[in-house]
């Protein structure tokens, strides 16, 4: 204020500025309500990293109640060792987690399903594999036993990944109509020693809670993205 300016003359301007300030007297809408798409169901998981080069972030699960999204829980998350990349541009073997919005076809695990699990749950057996061989007819599919056209070096022997696959969710990335070479075996699973090969991982307790929470009748989806930029989770 300039010396000698009556304080009364500045009051309307101050009130106008306050009203125009983002968030003034308002609460920011929950993340799902700021997204372009949530999959059409009433349950959603969001896996958000601060940027594409990050290997850590947060996984949050949400319920839609009475027309609004409400946070049901959250946990620290880990992403691919080389960060995240737009799912439609991803290449296999890059150690990147694919951003995008995906369904969750089913769950599986080395251990039995946690109490309350409603999703289809497959128990891992000694001959359970996930085929990632681009030349195989079983590409990006559970195989039991491993088919002859799926090389062992291009497949994951599921029983050999403990604790990671004690509990896991299959992510619908490149799953329903697989594009060979885009990627296979993307899951939400239990933490290992560090960043993942391409998946999203959380502590074991959180994984158990997510499996007990997810209800196939409510069409849960997973959105993977960043807080901003071209891969912002709000764009999916």
Which residue segment(s) compose the domain that 94 sits in?
A: 34-235
Query: pLDDT of 117-142, one tens digit each?
Result: 999 999 999 999 999 999 999 999 99
Asked whether residue 172 is assigned to any structural domain, the reply reads yes
Asked whether residue 146 is assigned to any structural domain, the reply reads yes
Task: Give me the number of domains the chain comprises.
Answer: 1
> What is the pLDDT, as a whole number, of residue 27?
82
CA 135 to chain centre: 28
Asked whether residue 8 is assigned to any structural domain, the reply reads no
Phi, psi of 22, deg, nearest 5: -55, 130
Query: pLDDT of 190-209, one tens digit each?
Result: 999 999 999 999 999 999 99
> What is the pLDDT, as a whole number, of residue 5?
42
Check residue 235 and report its DSSP letter: G
CA atoms 215, 95, 76, 131: torsion sign: positive
Asked whether residue 15 is assigned to any structural domain, the reply reads no
**pLDDT block averages, 10 residues each, the chain of length 236:** 42 42 67 98 99 98 97 98 98 98 98 98 98 98 98 98 98 98 98 98 98 98 98 97
Task: Count how many Cα atoms sit within 13 Å of the Cα of residue 143 in the half-sphere of its side chain.
Answer: 25
In the three-class reduction of DSSP (H, G, I as helix; E, B as strand; rest coil), residue 45 is classed as strand
> Which of 96, 104, 90 is closest to 170 using CA atoms?
104
> What is the pLDDT, as a whole number, of residue 77?
99
CA atoms 164, 102, 151, 128: torsion sign: positive
Please give the Cα distance from 45 to 32 (Å, whole number). Answer: 9
């Amino acid at each position: 204020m300039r010396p000698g300016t009556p304080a009364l003359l500045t009051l309307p301007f101050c009130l106008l500025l306050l009203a125009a300030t983002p968030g003034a007297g308002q609460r920011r809408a929950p993340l799902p309500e700021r997204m372009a798409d949530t999959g059409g169901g009433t349950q959603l998981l969001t896996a958000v990293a601060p940027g594409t080069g990050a290997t850590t972030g947060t996984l949050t699960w949400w319920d839609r109640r009475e027309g609004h999204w409400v946070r049901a829980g959250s946990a620290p998350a880990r992403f691919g060792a080389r960060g995240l990349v737009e799912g439609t541009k991803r290449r296999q073997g890059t150690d990147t987690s694919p951003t995008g919005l995906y369904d969750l076809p089913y769950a599986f695990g080395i251990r039995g399903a946690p109490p309350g699990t409603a999703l289809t749950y497959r128990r891992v057996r000694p001959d359970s594999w996930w085929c990632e061989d681009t030349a195989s007819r079983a590409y990006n599919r559970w195989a039991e036993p491993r088919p002859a056209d799926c090389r062992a070096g291009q497949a994951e022997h599921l029983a050999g990944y403990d604790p990671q696959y004690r509990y896991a969710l299959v992510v619908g990335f490149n799953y329903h109509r697989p594009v060979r070479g885009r990627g296979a075996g993307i899951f939400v699973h239990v933490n290992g020693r560090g960043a993942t090969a391409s998946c999203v991982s959380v502590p074991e307790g959180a994984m158990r809670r997510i499996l007990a929470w997810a209800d196939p009748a409510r069409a849960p989806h997973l959105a993977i993205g960043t807080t901003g930029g071209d891969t912002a989770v709000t764009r999916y």
